[in-house]
Structure 1
Amino acid sequence: MDFNFENELSGKIALVTGGTKGTGKAIADRLSKAGATVIVTARNKPEDQPGHIHFIAADLSRPEGTQKVVEEILAEYGHLDILINNMGSSETPGGGFTVLSDHDWEATIQTNLLAPVRLDRGFLPGMVGRGEGVIIHIASIQARLPLYDSTLPYAAAKAGLVNYSKSLSNEVSPKGVRVLTVSPGWIMTSASGRMIERIADSSGGTIEQATHSVMNALGGIPFGRPAWPEEVAELVGFLASPRAAYLTGTEYVIDGGTIPTI
């Protein structure tokens, strides 16, 4: 089969949640370069948002936010071909199980698990009706390698997302819709860079020392560095493309070798 990599997504409509910064922005740019019409969501529109990418302001942690996104996209474009459930965050306090409230758990699960579920529910009927579509859930290696002292609810929500993604694939793959999971390790986004600077400042060490301290907390990264957002975006771009037409129901880990088992 012959593919034109530059325009392989021409004519496709794609949504990337959390697509205004970090890995989400890199994914949106990658899909746009492949010819897709790209929509991104976030709570607030950044000042440097590209004009060729459709932005929708929405809080996806709330049901009305996901409903707004579904209704606006279907009203303007009629359907969605590619859904990248990238949005995710962990804002709970460190300190382990005892410091976490019901609100911490509920807010984290709303953002990292139920928001993708609601968006899938909104767009899947159309995909199934056309007999084609791609849904990619961005999870995390914390689903298998949780950091219990700092991100316990996040890790639990991502584990749920991985399981849900596999179950959903079993249901809709026979109907023409591919469902996949991408689980990155540590990614060097601007937020990660700021975290490293804070660690270096508080410890009195260098940026390099702070970087290695985070890698050590993860049990080490054999590749020797975090991933760049563009590296994760390249994997997502491939999985969303016709080149990956036979791939569904699978989790793809991109972590530089962090997870110590096969």
Structure 2
Amino acid sequence: MQNSLKDQVALVTGGTKGIGKAIADKLSNAGVKVVVTARTAPTDNANGHYFIAADHAKPESAETIATEILEKYGRIDIIVNNAGANLSPGGGFSTISDEHWNADWQMNFMSVVRINKALLPSMIKQESGIIINISSGAARQPIWEMTMSYSSAKAALNVYSKALASEVGSKGVRVNVVSPGVVKTTLMLEFIENISKSSNSTIEEAFKVVMDKVDVPMGRMAEPEEIANLVAFLVSAEAKYITGTNYAIDGGALPTV
């Protein structure tokens, strides 16, 4: 697998911490030249990923990122659209304003559409490329108290990804979705802390609420590296006949087949 990835160029959005960092490190260790984006520079960049400062919620960021990558490397082989966040308050429909809805959709859906649109022409020209859109189990298992607008945006991302895979498959570009469940990241821990504060409960009680809602048969959160392992396989030559597919990696939480 590592031999098939050596010297390829990859973009990992939101690649400075959590799942994104784990993916960036995994690809780098396989010989990939990795570009990461985030609003602020990473404090830990031991693998020496090339960093581009970007706020993906801003429409102009995609063209800026694409231009810099193509000027520096002359190509792009892998796009991992990982940047995303649940930006709305809990409590259901009455607590979510138009601004909240817009923020979630800009961050979790439109940012991906714009990055792909900016870089896909280069992939199509070279007749090869792989796109992995990081979605969420919440897109198929929404929790109305916690993830209504976020889940909606991620569900749209799933549909868009399937349509895009159908469009560009004959042009040498593969598109797949990875849908993690609950993952032990800083954002997830902050999410649990916010639930604790808003419900006047302990961190342990808030964690139990989340785990009970999601109902993970394996009884634990995923480690970011476990998501990275799946992504690394999907972008490798070993997965060259896989496209248009959504992979749940959620410890068995999704209650349907």
- Flag whether TM exceeds 0.5 (same fold): yes
> Using the alignment, how far apart are the partners of 1:43 and 1:110 within structure 2?
15
Shift of the 203–100 alpha-carbon distance from structure 1 to 2, 3 Å rule, reads: closer
Matched letter for residue 215 of structure 1: M
Tell me, what secondary structure is at the counterpart of 2:60? helix
> Using the alignment, how far apart are the partners of 2:213 and 2:6 within structure 1?
42
Alignment-derived partner of residue 190 in structure 1:
186
Alignment-derived partner of residue 239 in structure 1:
234
CA contact 1:8–1:35 (8 Å) conserved in 2: no
> What is the CA-CA distance between 1:204 and the residue it aligns to?
4.2
Where do 1:69-218 residues align within 5 Å? 69-196=65-192, 202-204=200-202, 207=204, 210-218=206-214
> What is the CA-CA distance between 1:239 and the residue it aligns to?
0.2
> Using the alignment, how far apart are the partners of 2:158 and 2:31 within structure 1?
28
Tell me, what secondary structure is at the counterpart of 1:27? helix
Q: Does 1:229 pair with 2:210?
A: no
Matched letter for residue 249 of structure 1: G
> What is the CA-CA distance between 1:258 and the residue it aligns to?
0.5
Shift of the 200–110 alpha-carbon distance from structure 1 to 2, 3 Å rule, reads: closer
Question: How does the TM-score come out when normalised to structure 2?
Answer: 0.94
> Using the alignment, how far apart are the partners of 1:195 and 1:158 within structure 2?
17
> What is the CA-CA distance between 1:151 and the residue it aligns to?
1.6
Q: Structure 1 unaligned runs (5+)? A: none
> What is the CA-CA distance between 1:60 and the residue it aligns to?
1.0
Tell me, what secondary structure is at the counterpart of 2:42? coil
Shift of the 200–59 alpha-carbon distance from structure 1 to 2, 3 Å rule, reads: closer
Shift of the 197–96 alpha-carbon distance from structure 1 to 2, 3 Å rule, reads: closer
> What is the CA-CA distance between 1:89 and the residue it aligns to?
0.5
> Using the alignment, how far apart are the partners of 2:96 and 2:202 within structure 1?
29
| More off after superposition, 18-27 vs 94-103 | 94-103
Alignment-derived partner of residue 259 in structure 1:
254
| More off after superposition, 167-176 vs 7-16 | 7-16
Q: Does 1:11 pair with 2:19?
A: no
Shift of the 200–142 alpha-carbon distance from structure 1 to 2, 3 Å rule, reads: closer
Q: Does 1:22 pair with 2:30?
A: no
- Percent identity, please: 48
1:201-242, Cα deviation, whole Å (9 max, x unpaired) = 84247x4x5433321021x10011111100000000000111
Matched letter for residue 90 of structure 1: N
> What is the CA-CA distance between 1:65 and the residue it aligns to?
1.1
Matched letter for residue 201 of structure 2: S
> Using the alignment, how far apart are the partners of 1:204 and 1:51 within structure 2?
37
Matched letter for residue 70 of structure 1: A
1:71-104, Cα deviation, whole Å (9 max, x unpaired) = 1111111110000000110111112111211111
Question: How does the TM-score come out when normalised to structure 1?
Answer: 0.92
Matched letter for residue 134 of structure 2: I
> What is the CA-CA distance between 1:142 and the residue it aligns to?
1.0
